[in-house]
Structure 1
Amino acid sequence: MEIEAGKVAELVREGKVQLIDVRESYEWDEGRIPGARHLELGQVTAQADTIHRETPVVFYCRVGGRSAMAANAFRQAGYDAYTMTGGLLEWDAQGLPLEPDGGHVADH
């Protein structure tokens, strides 16, 4: 299941979701969504016990492919898991904030 970037921004502001960036470390360093947690796709399963089952989780990556894999796996494991439609590229295209200051969406 997907959630639009604008809705994700609203849910993050309200503290209603866990936001997890599944991109590579170099991508995270270049720019990310404020308040997101970084777990590379290969680490997500090993860190599953650190992701709260009672709070919805939204995964994101650059365009949505990697985050869809994470969301599907977590959904199958019983989590209320989603991917952000269009990934960080869509977030940035909508003018939503990135950190650090001057951050941008890294190539993958």
Structure 2
Amino acid sequence: MDAMSVPEVEVQDVPDGAFLLDVRENDEWRAGHAPAAVHIPLGELQARVGEVPKDAPVYVVCRAGSRSAHAAAWLGHVGWDAINVGGGMQSWEVAGRPMVSESGQDPFVA
């Protein structure tokens, strides 16, 4: 599926309270992520898709936007309302959106 056909929003347009799906790897997640994000690494998404709600839009994020575009394309293909977050967590960090880490250190985008 062409990733260019995936709906996309800028990080500042992700609504508060939206379902935010982070598809980065474990080390990236531990370094820093959005506080309310749900972590399902891209490689596990097909097996764990039942954890993703179908009754609301799903905003998909990765480090820079490429993996999340693929994830959003696949989710859209199988019936979810999935929207890619353009620029990923790199743009999230630059925009000053809230972040937390799992490491006990200051959050950053790995």
Residue equivalent to 2:3: none
After superposition, residues 46-61 of structure 1 pair within 5 angstroms as: 46-61=47-62
Structural RMSD (CA): 1.0
C-alpha displacement of 1:26: 0.4
Counterpart CA distance in 2 for 1:102 and 1:90 is 17
Q: Normalising to structure 2: TM-score of the pair?
A: 0.87
SS at the partner of 1:49? helix
User: How many pairs are equivalent?
Assistant: 101
SS at the partner of 2:47? coil
Residue equivalent to 1:85: 86
Residue equivalent to 1:43: 44
SS at the partner of 2:60? strand
Residue equivalent to 1:105: 109
C-alpha displacement of 1:7: 1.1
Residue equivalent to 1:6: 12
Question: Where does structure 1 lack aligned partners over 5 or more consecutive residues?
Answer: none
Residue equivalent to 2:68: 67
Question: Where does structure 2 lack aligned partners over 5 or more consecutive residues?
Answer: 1-6
C-alpha displacement of 1:48: 1.1
Structure 1: 4+ residue segments shifted above 2 A:
none
Deviation track 1:39-69 (CA, whole Å, cap 9, x = no partner) reads: 0001111111121111110110000010001
Counterpart CA distance in 1 for 2:21 and 2:96 is 19
Identical residues among aligned pairs (%) = 38
